[in-house]
């Protein structure tokens, strides 16, 4: 991959990756750190792949899916290092543990309704919030999501449907 | 909420974007790093004995480490004009850079003394000596600001007294062995500023209780007047301020005025970060 190609890739995907991480980690500073690590890894891996000329590689065939996969792993690593599991409140409730809702402090100003929607997104299962962010916020197609999750298109559609249902349920609780 | 409304609302999250300056900084940083880190692969292989081949990485690292350490060790004994003298200067600069913020000026002057001593032992290197003399003058100019940056007043006083003694030694060395008027003048100026700083710090320490009272009153007024603004603060910062206020209370009870002042400065820094209108005075009030 040339420097110019990487710059284009960076410009096209920076906002999406930042948003995706921001929703999962809840803090701007941490989201910036993790985003930086993602793009550094992508650049390093893509450069090496570029040298070895393995053109059938996923990284080369669909760079966007590749970046999201790296971002997803980066978030998992982050929680692992912090001895935290990215477990949703919904899952905790299922296990009989009730977590008081913390007030979310954000530097990004949002309306009350949007703030509630964001909280709801963070409360549903991680994989549900991931597919919702990818598809409805970042505009990724179901085909691209299949490449990130290694699932077939039908599975992804079902997942999206369930995710939306779960989100609707969560939002109605807030109201 | 209908599914369509929900999807429309989700679309509004597209407005969340990272800071543009940060985005530019990150891109340039990644592209710079990549040149050094990405394509570094060992291409030379040792073809002799098989055991060497097995341990080639370890042996190469060890040889490199030995060479590196011995070069640095030898460089420490060199004088200006020697090809290895820049290595010595580099080590000294690294010592200054790595020293703690509070004691940077002491280390800086120790090294200035060593350099001055090297200069006196050097013959026929006028250009090098002139350059070194300029560097020592720059070091001397940096010292007053470094003393001001020390947040703990007791440490600031201790360090500035030590720096005062060091400048005396430097002056003696410079007077006895060199005849460099510019350097002597720079030492005199630095010495004056250090003594001035010692005087003002001593005064600040002696009058600490009354300053503390004023600052606490200002803080109290601020927090009473701006309760609404505080609601928007991150929870971490509010906790920090609460902890500091608790500690300040304990310090006041225990008579540790200076420690309390340092914590008030920390609260002020948090206030500054949040770009608030009122800044509690941190400088010494004029009498």
pLDDT in the model for residue A96? 47
Contact residues, chain B, for A136 at CB < 8 Å: 7, 10-11
Contact B85, B79 (CB under 8 A): yes
Residues 217..246 of B with a Cβ closer than 8 Å to A: which?
232-235
Confidence of residue A17 (pLDDT cuts 50, 70, 90): very high
A97 touches chain B (CB under 8 A): no
Contact A72, A148 (CB under 8 A): yes
pLDDT in tens, A43-99: 888 776 554 445 445 556 778 888 998 998 888 888 887 655 444 545 545 544 443
Domain ranges for chain B, please list them.
63-206, 210-273
**Interface mutation vs chain B, best among A49, A136, A164, A171, most B CBs within 10 Å:** A136
pLDDT in the model for residue A50? 53
**Interface mutation vs chain B, best among A6, A29, A46, A105, most B CBs within 10 Å:** A105
pLDDT in the model for residue B53? 63
B52 or A161, greater pLDDT = A161
Longest dimension (CA), chain A: 54
pLDDT in the model for residue B122? 74
Give the integer Cα–Cα distance in Å for B152 and B218.
21
pLDDT in tens, A107-138: 444 567 777 888 888 888 888 989 999 998 88
Give the integer Cα–Cα distance in Å for A110 and A112.
6
pLDDT, chain A, mean: 77
In order along chain B (287 residues), what is the average pLDDT of each group of 10 residues? Answer: 80 82 83 55 45 71 84 79 84 86 88 84 75 85 87 83 87 74 84 87 80 81 76 80 85 81 82 60 43
Rounded to two decimals, the pTM is: 0.41
Q: Tokens standing for B99? A: 């020293």
Q: Determine the residue of chain B that is closest to A170 in CA distance.
A: B1
Q: What is the distance in angstroms between the CA of the first residue and the CA of the last residue of chain B?
A: 66
pLDDT in the model for residue B123? 66
pLDDT in the model for residue A162? 92
DSSP track, A122-163: HHS-HHHHHHHIIIIIS---HHHHHHHHT--HHHHHHHHHHH
Contact A36, B26 (CB under 8 A): yes
ipTM of this predicted structure:
0.73
Q: Determine the residue of chain A that is closest to B41 in CA distance.
A: A48
């Amino acid at each position: 991959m040339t420097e110019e190609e990487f710059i284009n890739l960076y410009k096209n995907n920076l906002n999406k990756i930042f948003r995706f991480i921001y929703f999962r980690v809840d803090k701007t500073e941490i989201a910036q750190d993790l985003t930086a690590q993602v793009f550094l890894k992508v650049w390093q891996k893509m450069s090496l792949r570029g040298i070895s000329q393995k053109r059938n590689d996923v990284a080369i065939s669909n760079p966007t899916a590749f970046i999201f996969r790296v971002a997803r792993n980066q978030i998992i690593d982050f929680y692992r290092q912090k001895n935290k599991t990215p477990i949703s409140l919904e899952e905790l409730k299922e296990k009989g543990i009730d977590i008081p809702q913390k007030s979310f402090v954000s530097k990004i100003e949002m309306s009350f309704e949007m703030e509630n929607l964001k909280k709801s997104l963070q409360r549903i299962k991680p994989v549900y919030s991931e597919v919702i962010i990818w598809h409805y916020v970042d505009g990724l197609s179901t085909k691209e999501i299949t490449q990130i999750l290694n699932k077939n298109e039908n599975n992804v559609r079902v997942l999206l449907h369930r995710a939306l249902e779960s989100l609707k349920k969560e939002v109605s609780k807030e109201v | 909420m209908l599914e369509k409304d929900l999807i429309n609302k989700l679309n509004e999250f597209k407005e969340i974007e990272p800071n543009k300056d940060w985005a530019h900084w990150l891109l340039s940083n990644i592209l710079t790093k990549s040149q050094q880190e990405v394509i570094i692969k060992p291409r030379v292989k040792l073809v002799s004995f098989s055991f060497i081949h097995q341990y080639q990485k370890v042996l190469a690292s060890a040889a490199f480490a030995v060479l590196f350490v011995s070069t640095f060790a030898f460089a420490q004994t060199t004088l200006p004009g020697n090809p290895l003298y820049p290595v010595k200067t580099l080590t000294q600069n690294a010592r200054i850079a790595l020293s703690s913020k509070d004691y940077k000026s002491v280390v800086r002057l120790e090294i200035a003394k060593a350099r001055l001593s090297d200069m006196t032992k050097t013959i026929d290197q006028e250009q090098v000596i002139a350059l070194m003399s300029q560097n020592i003058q720059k070091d001397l100019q940096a010292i007053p600001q470094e003393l001001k940056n020390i947040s703990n007043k007791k440490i600031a006083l201790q360090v500035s007294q030590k720096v005062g003694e060091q400048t005396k030694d430097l002056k003696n060395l410079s007077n006895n062995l060199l005849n460099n008027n510019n350097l002597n003048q720079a030492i005199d100026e630095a010495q004056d500023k250090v003594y001035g700083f010692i005087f003002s710090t001593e005064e600040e320490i002696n009058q600490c209780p009354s300053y503390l009272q004023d600052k606490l009153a200002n803080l109290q007024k601020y927090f009473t007047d701006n309760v609404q603004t505080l609601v928007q603060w991150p929870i971490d910062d509010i906790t920090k301020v609460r902890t500091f206020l608790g500690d300040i209370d304990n310090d006041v009870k225990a008579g540790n005025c200076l420690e309390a002042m340092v914590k008030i400065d920390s609260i002020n820094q948090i206030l500054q970060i949040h770009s608030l209108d009122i800044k509690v005075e941190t400088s010494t009030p004029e009498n």
